[in-house]
Structure 1
Amino acid sequence: MITKFYTSKVLEQIKDNYIVGVLASKSDYLPKLGDDDEPVTYSESMNDVVFYVKALSQEPKEILEVERNKPMSKMYIGFANRSLSNLPIELKYSNDVNKIISFIRESLEGKLLLFKPVLTQQEKNERFYKNIDNVIVEEEDWKEGTTYYAIPRVNLTPEEFERKLLAEETFHLDQYNHAMPAPFYLLCGNYIYGNIKENQWRIDPTSSNTRVLTSPTTIKRVEITEDERIKFTGPERDLLVFIDEEYVNSTIADRLDNSGISLGDIQVNKISLTIEQDNNQTSSLRDIELHLEETNSKPLSEIAFIRDLESKTKENNLVYSREDLINFHTSIKSSALTILSGQSGIGKTRLATIYGEALGLSQDNKRMLIMPISPSYTEPGDILGYLNPSTGLYMPAESGLVEFLLNAQENDTQVHMLIMDEMNLSQIEHYFAPFISLLELEEKERILHLYSKDSVCHNSQKYKHSIHLKNNLVIVGTMNTDETTKDLSDRLLDRSNIVVLEKKSFLDIKKELSNVVKNNNSNSSGVEDAYGEVYMSWRSKNENWNAFDDFELEFFDKIDNEISKVDPLKGFSIRNIIRMGAYLNNLPAKSDEGFYIERDNAIDLFIKQRVLTKIRGPIELYDNLIGTIDLENGVPKGHLYELFDDNAAKKISDFSKTKKELARKARELSVNGYAT
């Protein structure tokens, strides 16, 4: 028997994947590592509590190869101090082994577990072990006998994906790399693609997760409904979904055979449609768009929504630049929290409300909540409520927030919008603290706890101990900057897009509004109420880091280094880069009507509203970074301005808004000795 050992690169590749499992039972064949034959036990040789997990989904090829050639347990071995991120700190350093065993058993038993596999090899004694990097405990219980099929989700729209497939171009499976067996199914949008054979796959050797599918016209797709998703989907990551294996191999496989649409047919239909359009000169552009939308099951146009939003603002006697509206829309799509700022009376709250109304949301249908913030709010209970220990009843706050969040949780296919009016009248970091932390997590982990699950709550049927904050929740805040308000902390600024609305001249406003009266709102599509149903499909699934070229990241590193010399906590954070990638990926597509922002302008906008907002302080600290200003020519003498004005910057953007904002801050330093 030949023993094969793997390189560190291969071992890291194995570890980059996910497996679904369940805590083993006594009836399973368990490794002989512990002091007894229990699935959770103490191992004196390891000086740790060990537990065993049984895989319920595909495993990496190398691990299966080792199992075929070497005696190795089929169970994955976890260690209390290395494999459990949720082990309480008091247990991590506890000598009470029984207490640790009880905690692990109670936490894991009967639950679906998501973990990263580790292949440990010991060349000295030629042994291999299947270990666990980190366990994520899912909310749902494991149904006895259920196994799962891991299906990669492609980070493209169905149209883009099908074009790549038909052109035999490479695409990324970012959470299902080359260490895993070739998948027979793929997810993209609402479709499952199947009828894929193993020999159709070609791996790109230069990348750990890039593949090509050959002979693509034989591939078929079927639509998966929301009810099916809820019923048959298990754990999932952003780009990987675990679906009931029996459902996939029976229902989906049969549906693909009997009613699946092949990519070959889709290609023929598109060619036929093009010929039809060329021969039929009487077809209007809108007829063609509708035909294409029907053919490709394409959702309602995002451009049409922005056009309707612009019309609605003017109907309400509000005039904003188109760039401000698109920036606001893109910020909401790409950020958990968007804050509208600007001169008092410019219509910040009304714009947020109109945006919701344009999506078909209202307080009547419980999909929009306008929550005025009181200066008296000091803790989360002021907006959420509390569990009364005397009566055993949960008492929701008068804000209506808990009921709104419960409705959003139960109707997760529909977007829900929370508007916090004048949110900085009180200290946001106090009353909004749980949300600030949770909204940065992945959707699966965003659990808002109202009270301890061990507490006695007589109305827990209505008010459960926790609420799942899903991706359908949109949060918009409005803020003023005067003596009655609180400043935003760096922590909050680092987690939100601050959109400052530009005030247009009175004459421009009059002209714009007179045109609206004359045109009688002829630009409205008349389908506003339907936008909220498809809003989430407009969000990009593209990898945020792929939004940048290498030279752009090098430039942003320079900016970060320059700021960090003054204050490392105010630099261009990794969070900012990721959010900028999301912002760029979510920009509306270019249209002939001009409802888009050029990419270079978008980068300029993002840095102004996300990076420069944190740079504030006294002249003693920021003299060199921001610089003071020559009041005659208006050019700041600061290191940041020089960086945004050099040749490397000009390859990315002219940074006109960023430089204008730096000039404003430099002027404040010159006059007041403090920049805001």
Structure 2
Amino acid sequence: MGADGLLQRKKWDVDFLGILASNEEVYESMGRHKAVFINSQNRLQFFFKVISETPESFPRNQILFTCYSTDLDKYGFEESYADHEYTRTNDLIEFLMDSLVLFKPTKKVLSNYGEVYVATDIRLVPKLESYKVNQQFKAVPIFKEEVHKLTKENFADSLIQGKYIGTAEGISIEPDDTPSIVLWKEGKAYSAYGLFDHHEYAHGGFSFVSNYGVREIPFDTWQNKIYREGNENDMLLFVDQETYSEMERELEAAHPIDEVLRETIQPEVTRLVEESVFEKDEQEENAILPEDDSQDKEEEFLEYFIQTTREMGLQYFEKDLYNFHTAMKSNALTILAGMSGTGKSRLVQAYGRALGLDATQLVFVPVRPSWADDSDLLGYIDTKNMLYRPSDTALVDALFQAQQERGKIFVICFDEMNLSRVEHYFSQFLSVLEMEPNRRILRLYSDRISQQIYNSTQYGPEINIGQNVVFVGTVNIDESTYHFSDKVLDRANVITLDVQPYTMLSSRNTRESKEKTRKPYTYEMFNRFRKQEGSMVLTDDELNFLWEMHLKMQKENKSLGIGPRVVKQIDHYIKNLPPNSYLSRKDAFDIQVVQRILTKLRGPEGLLKGLIGKIVEDRVEGLLFDLIERYNSVSGFAKTRDAIYQKAKELKVNGFTV
């Protein structure tokens, strides 16, 4: 492994926890017979096995790291080159028997040997009496006043507000590696904070976000179960997975600290912060955005959209708002589903307000139970008076206006869409919306009679539905509504929104907000948010997952499956996912499986039981669960698991899924 053979080197600035590997582990992983051996340079070389959680970007199958006896010189290990091989290797095994090791992973690519993973920056830590074989560990970052220049109160307040709190060396900063727990150290005492769902990392270090409110518990109970380097400047420690789960359960049971913290922060600091925020809000309220490119930035729009939902009292998670926006810009039809009273219609209003739409551009069409065909929605020809009579929904007027004013965005919302059968009154739209933009022609009546229609100048025989028109529907799922047919589901993203805990209602700023003066977003600005059709961005693993899922569905029931259209629409959604810290690509793929595929998984137990599976001790055993377990590198599939579990419950209780 001379310098001439070194072609490439990559180092992860992350600390791993490891232990000396066994001969069996080395043989199984690498085909070598010994974990400790004398190499060609007559030096002891050995393998560590990583026993801590590794970053998402790190190769899943890489668990062994090599290093050399010289890495242990600083700990007093002296290798006797004159001794027999057995004695030399046995001395090193005994030296490491009572230790675990902290190290940083480095990949070296050698011309002669290929990829080699090396453990560098070796630090030995004593093995605790509580150590068990096959234990797995998680890294927990440490923050403290001496390093981060914050008091404990300021630290907690920054966590609540999602502010940057500084760095923590040795832990991954990648978006998919959010630690759910962080520690504050004061003297020798620790406090644990959590549970965090995602994070951002920038010049100010970490900022953490908790969807359910930041909580605090003392860490004293677990201090005798930790592994750390032992220096005053330690920035992380390791706890075993069982202990980590205990901490998460205790944090989950604790109360959010928002109200308690507000009482402990110095009143003067609170007053200054509130005055600063108020002055900033007043400046924003009185400001007219300059006519430049800043307004068409998607990040700015989404920040304003989220702010608007908060001002309107809506309690949706940021990841759901990103999901909604991505679906709206990438799909012909988006459907918001859920129980009544969760604010689905108001969410569409908030989206329209964020876009700056006026009353003619944001059109709500209340669906009526009596609608039987598209004439109830669009209108009809009055043959007696030879007039076109548009329906009183104002939909046709809005579509003609959108055809004439291509530079504006129009959002059409069908409210309580499933009070009547969608495939009946919406049939023409279902055919039109899957066509190319220049072929999306909605036919009102025949060209042959257009000259006989007195108001044909106002209401022509056809409407071209441009891409400046976005369709969305709201639905309630109860006994008074109809379920969607596959024809509808094939063309729609069906989003079930989760609301935040009701305790968040009291923490919202209830100060009356004035309508801000903003330039409305034009169609050109909105269209810049869209990533147009092009080469597919789905990975081979994602496509293989969808193909295997299709085959399993087809095997169980020939009427089920995943059509090429759905695959292309999932790809288009992923392509249009904005860069953000709330909804990762893996979570987005998981959401698309639920919204585009599992919504169609309906039917009797006899057809679906093998596919969906059955509940065994709060876990589902079935073909789909086995599939997502095998493809856990594609996504954690949290939403998919929940959806399959719910459908398994429906099969068990009802004998069919809905």
The two structures have a TM-score, normalised by structure 2, of 0.54
- Indicate conservation of the 8 Å contact 1:311/1:521, yes or no: no
Q: Distance in 2 between matches of 1:538 and 1:573?
A: 27
Amino acid at match of 1:537: R
Matched, 1:612 2:594: no
Establish whether residue 538 from structure 1 lines up as the match of residue 529 from structure 2: yes
Match 1:421 to one of 405, 410, 415: 415
| Counterpart check, 1:558 vs 2:548 | yes
Code of the aligned partner of 1:319: Q
1:658 corresponds in structure 2 to 640
Q: How far apart in 2 are the matches of 1:457 and 1:346?
A: 45
Shift of 1:551: 2.7
User: 1:527, 1:673 → 2: CA distance?
Assistant: 53
**C-alpha separation in 1, matches of 2:516 and 2:624:** 45
Structure 1 position 568, deviation (Å): 3.2
Task: Tell me the residue number matched to 1:439.
Answer: 433
Letter in 1 for 2:391: A
Check if 1:359 corresponds to 2:355: yes
Task: Select which of 340, 347, 356 maps to 2:343.
Answer: 347
The SS at the match of 2:611 is: coil
Residue in 2 that maps onto 1:635: 619
Shift of 1:537: 1.6
- How far does residue 580 in structure 1 lie from its aligned partner after superposition? 0.7
CA RMSD of aligned residues (A): 2.2
2:567 counterpart of 1:571: no
Partner of 2:99: none
User: CA 1:540–1:525 in structure 2 vs 1: closer, same or farther (change >3 Å)?
Assistant: farther
Shift of residue 294 of structure 1?
10
Provide Cα deviations, 1:154-208, integer angstroms capped at 9, x if missing partner. xxxxxxxxxxxxxxxxxxxxxxxxxxxxxxxxxxxxxxxxxxxxxxxxxxxxxxx
Name the CA shift for 1:369/1:296 in 2 (closer, same or farther; >3 Å). closer
Q: In the alignment, what sits opposite 1:129?
A: none
In 2: Cα distance, 1:675 partner to 1:360 partner: 41
Give the Å deviation of 1:355: 0.8
Change (3 A) 1:525 1:673: same
Amino acid corresponding to residue 566 of structure 2 in structure 1 = N
Q: Could you tell me how far 1:451 is from its partner in structure 2?
A: 0.3
2:586 matched to which residue of 1? 600
Unaligned runs of 5+ in 2: 1-288
Between 1:460-469 and 1:568-577, the stretch displaced more is: 568-577
Name the SS for the 1:527 alignment partner. Answer: coil
C-alpha displacement at 1:504, in angstroms? 2.1
The amino acid across from 2:493 in the alignment is N
| Cα distance between partner residues in 2 of 1:359 and 1:654 | 33
* 1:82-103 deviation digits (Å, cap 9, x = unpaired): xxxxxxxxxxxxxxxxxxxxxx
Displacement of 1:463 in angstroms is: 0.7
Letter in 2 for 1:383: L
Match of 1:302 in 2: 298
| Structure 1 unaligned spans of 5+ | 1-292
Larger radius of gyration: 2
In 1, Cα distance between equivalents of 2:527 and 2:349: 18
Q: Which amino acid aligns with 1:610?
A: R
**TM-score normalised to structure 1 length:** 0.52
Match of 1:474 in 2: 470
Q: 2:314 & 2:500 partners in 1: Cα distance?
A: 10
Distance across 2 between alignment mates of 1:480 and 1:609: 16
Separation in 2, partners of 1:568, 1:407:
44
Deviation at 1:552, TM superposition (A): 2.0
**Which residue of structure 2 aligns with residue 195 of structure 1?**
none
Percent identity between matched residues is: 36
Quick one: which amino acid aligns to residue 474 of structure 1? V
Partner of 1:581: 571
Taking a change above 3 Å as real, the CA distance of residues 628 and 466 of structure 1, as seen in their structure-2 partners, is same
Q: What is the CA–CA distance in structure 2 between the aligned matches of 1:620 and 1:607, rounded to whole Å?
A: 23
Mapped to 2, the partners of 1:613 and 1:675 lie a distance apart of: 10
State how far apart, in whole Å, the 2-side matches of 1:295 and 1:552 are: 42
2:375 counterpart of 1:375: no
Contact 2:296 2:528 in 1 (8 A): no
Please report how far the alpha carbon of residue 328 of structure 1 lies from its aligned counterpart in structure 2 after TM superposition.
0.5
Distance (Å, rounded) in 2 between the aligned partners of 1:501 and 1:360:
23
562-571 or 528-537, which moves further after superposition? 528-537
* 1:402 corresponds to: 396
Alignment of 1:461-540 (within 5 A): 461-511=457-507, 513=508, 516-517=509-510, 527=518, 529-530=520-521, 534-540=525-531
Kindly state the Cα deviation for residue 526 of structure 1 after the two structures are TM-superposed: 5.6
Distance 1:314 1:598 in 2: 22
Change beyond 3 A, Cα 1:553–1:402: same
1:430-471 Cα offsets, whole Å, 9 max, x none, are: 001000110000011111110000012111111110000110
The answer as to whether partners of 1:494 and 1:576 remain within 8 angstroms in 2 is yes
Q: What's the CA shift string for 1:265-302, capped at 9, x where partnerless?
A: xxxxxxxxxxxxxxxxxxxxxxxxxxxx9999565221
1:281-326 superposed Cα distances (whole Å, 9 cap, x missing partner): xxxxxxxxxxxx9999565221111111111111111110001101
Q: How many residues align?
A: 368
CA contact (8 A) 1:626 1:666 kept: yes
Alpha-carbon distance in structure 2 between the residues aligned to 1:586 and 1:530: 18
